[in-house]
Every structure is written in C-alpha cells, then in structure tokens.
C-alpha cells in the first residue's frame, strides 16, 4: 500500500512538468524564429530606414542616460535635431531595452527584443486557455497566436513600441481572470507606458467588465424618515453603500474606463506637447473637428461615416497591423494572391 501511495505524487509531478516543459519549448522556439526572421531581414538590407533608425537612436540615448533623442525624426518632421520621441509617441517603456545596448549597441538588439516580447505573450495566453479549456486547447491557442498573421506583420514592420502590447494586455486579462486583481492593475499601468493610446485598450477591457451579465446589488435598506432628516449627507452615504455593494467586476470595469480615458487624454493632450510634440500630428480626421469625435459622430452619424471613409490613413499603421484579427488578415492575404 505504501509503494503506490508514495509513487502517486511523483507521477502527478512528472505529468505536471510536461506542460511546463512543452510551454517553455514553444516560447523559446517562437522567440528564436521571430528574432532570426528579423535579423535576416536586417542582414539582407530589407529593413526600413525610418522607424528602425528612430527607435535605435532613441534607445541608444536612453542607454547613455540621455533624453530619447531621435535626430532623424526631428529633422524629417521639422521639429529639430534635438527632438525627443516622447513628443511623437509617449512610450517611456522603451527605456527597459536600453540596458541591453550595453551588450550590443545596434538595431539588432531591438529586433531580438521584439521577437522575445512577442513570444513571451504565449505564456499568459496558454495559462488563460488552460484554465478555461484545458492544456490541449491551450497549446492550440498558443500556437495559433505564435503563427498568426498579425505577429508576422509586426515582425515585417521591423520594430515598433507596440511589441510590448501583446504581452502586457494578455497578462492583464489572464491575471484578472485568475483573481489577481492587483497584478492585473500593475500590468494595466505598465501598458499605459507603452503608448499614449493604450488607455483606450484599458477602457475597452473595462467596458467588457461593466456590461457582462452579473448579479445586481440589492437596494440599500434604510428608514425613510431618518433619511429625510439626514438630507443630502444621508443620500450620499446611501449611494456610497450601493456602490460598495456593486459586483467587483463592475467597479473594476468603471475604474478601468475612467483611468484609461483620463490617461489617454493626459498623454495625448499634455505630455506629448510638454516634450515638444504636436498633439494633432497624427489626427487624420480633421472633418470631424480637432477633438472629441464621439460627440460629433453621435450628433451627425452620416457625416461621421463619410468622414471616416474619406480620411487619410494615419502615418503609422503598425497599431492596426498588430490589432487586426487573423480572419481579416487571411482575407487580405487571399486577395493579394
């Protein structure tokens, strides 16, 4: 009786190690393939000379403890040779790559870092899917992500700061689903440092938490006469008690929406201008007005539709490439054939 009992935990431990080893192998293989593909493009002189050079100059400046100056960006767009890219896109998270420039001071470091970042997103994707559907489905979902067309398009675009987004967004969702609300909030905060419009992604996640079906809180009991005597103070106290009784997901959703929208406005309208940039440089929908397109589209939806169809594409399409669905990308690939 003691033999099987002693051997059972060891067998379970060996079985539990198998998915971890397979997951590590999948992440390592994806990182190597991503980095190798990008480095081969660089070696074959197929890499672009604009965005890759911009980020290379900026991260090199970070590695020397200077402001993230990208001379090519400043001269090309008329901001001057001392222009810091924080005035173009607010992405201070790029500074975490700077220490690796001490190992290799060149654009290849950026390409390897991007390949590793995109591969690391496999881990939270696997953990989320495994928790919901099991290990087999988790490996299928992870492999589908690693081989997806948006990831390939991101690699073909050389380097962009959105390389941080798949890992951080997947980590935020996975940690929240695991009940680790604090860790999810940390991932959301770091995500805001990737780019100035990542607050909209947080707002979308908060909207999902807010509208999904949940149990509504019961009305707060209380004596009507007492409330009438207490006046506004009592009504405010009752409102606060009602808010506390809301489901946790609804409160978190409202917080994500509020923080996301405020962070986007602060980064886009204040911080970019503080670093010498133009707040409206990437605004391609001038017919909707200088700001607040949601209000104008709500008041005149026909006008908003016409304007959206006729507007020029933004200067950088990397965000669309990384966020478009595999279904849409597969359609475009069939058309290109």
**114-127, pLDDT tens digit by residue?**
999 999 999 999 99
Mean pLDDT of the region 99-116:
94
| pLDDT tens track for 54-66 | 999 999 999 999 9
Structure tokens at 294: 């949601």
Q: Could you tell me the pLDDT band of residue 26, with boundaries at 50, 70 and 90?
A: very high
pLDDT of residue 315 exceeding 90, the answer is no
Q: Which of 127, 154, 124 is nearest to 323 (CA)?
A: 154
pLDDT score, position 165? 96
DSSP state of 214: -
pTM summary value = 0.75
Distance CA 188, CA 23 (A): 24
Nearest one of 263, 260, 124 to 202, comparing CA atoms: 260
Domain locations in the chain as residue ranges? 13-183
Name the residue among 157, 158, 154 with its Cα closest to residue 121.
Answer: 154
The token pair that represents 46 in the structure block: 């197929």
Least confident of 90-104, 128-142, 264-278, 321-335: 321-335
Percentage of the chain modeled with pLDDT above 90:
53
Query: Residue 303: its pLDDT value, please?
Result: 54
The tokens describing 202, both together, are: 């947080």
Handedness of CA 194, 198, 202, 205 (dihedral sign): negative
Q: Distance between CA 98 and CA 105 in Å, rounded?
A: 9
Angle at 59 between CA 57 and CA 64, to 5 degrees: 95
CB burial readout 241-267, b (16+ within 10 A) else e: eeeeebeebbebbbbbbebbeebbeeb
Q: What is the mean pLDDT of residues 299-308?
A: 53
Is the pLDDT at 302 greater than 60? The verdict is: no
CA dihedral 58, 62, 65, 71 (to 10 degrees): 0
Beta bridge partners of residue 69, listed in sequence order: 84
Question: Nearest-CA neighbor of 174 among 198, 195, 205, 139?
Answer: 205
pLDDT value of residue 4: 43
- Give 99's pLDDT tier (boundaries 50, 70, 90): very high
| Sign of the dihedral defined by the CA atoms of residues 200, 125, 248, 183, in that order | negative
Residue 225: per-residue pLDDT = 42
- Residue of 26, 60, 22, 36 whose CA lies nearest to 115: 36
Listing DSSP states for 241-270 in one string gives HHHHTS-HHHHHHHHHHHHHHHHHHHIIII
The total number of residues shown for the chain amounts to: 337
Beta-carbon neighbour count of residue 175 at 10 Å? 21
Residue 262's pLDDT is what? Answer: 95
Q: Which phi and psi angles does 69 have, rounded to 5°?
A: -80, 135
């Amino acid at each position: 009786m003691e033999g099987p009992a002693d051997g059972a935990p060891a067998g379970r431990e060996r079985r539990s190690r198998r998915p971890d080893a397979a997951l590590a192998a999948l992440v390592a293989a994806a990182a190597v393939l991503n980095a190798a593909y990008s480095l081969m493009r660089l070696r074959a002189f197929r890499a672009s000379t604009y965005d890759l050079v911009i980020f290379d100059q900026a991260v090199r400046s970070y590695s020397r403890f200077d402001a993230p100056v990208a001379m090519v960006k400043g001269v090309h767009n008329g901001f001057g040779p001392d222009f810091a890219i924080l005035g173009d896109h607010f992405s201070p998270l790029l500074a975490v790559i700077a220490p690796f420039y001490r190992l290799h001071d060149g654009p290849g470091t950026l390409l390897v870092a991007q390949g590793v970042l995109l591969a690391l997103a496999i881990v939270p994707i696997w953990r989320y899917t495994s928790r919901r559907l099991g290990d087999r489905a988790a490996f299928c979902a992870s492999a589908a992500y690693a081989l997806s067309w948006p990831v390939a398009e991101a690699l073909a675009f050389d380097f962009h700061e959105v390389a941080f987004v798949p890992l951080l967004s997947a980590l935020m969702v996975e940690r929240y689903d695991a009940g680790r609300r604090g860790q999810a909030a940390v991932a959301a905060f770091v995500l805001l440092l990737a780019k100035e419009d990542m607050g909209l992604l947080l707002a979308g996640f908060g909207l999902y938490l807010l509208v999904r079906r949940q149990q509504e809180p019961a009305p707060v009991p209380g004596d009507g006469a007492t409330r009438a005597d207490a006046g506004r103070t009592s009504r405010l106290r009752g409102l606060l008690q009602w808010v506390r009784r809301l489901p946790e997901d609804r409160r978190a959703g409202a917080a994500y929406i509020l923080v996301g929208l405020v962070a986007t406005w602060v980064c886009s309208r204040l911080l970019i201008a503080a670093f010498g940039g133009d707040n409206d440089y990437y605004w391609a929908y001038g017919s909707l007005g200088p700001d607040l397109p949601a209000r104008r589209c709500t008041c005149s939806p026909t006008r908003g539709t016409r304007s959206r169809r006729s507007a020029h594409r933004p200067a950088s399409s990397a965000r669309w490439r990384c966020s478009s669905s595999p279904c849409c990308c597969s359609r475009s690939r069939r058309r290109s054939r």
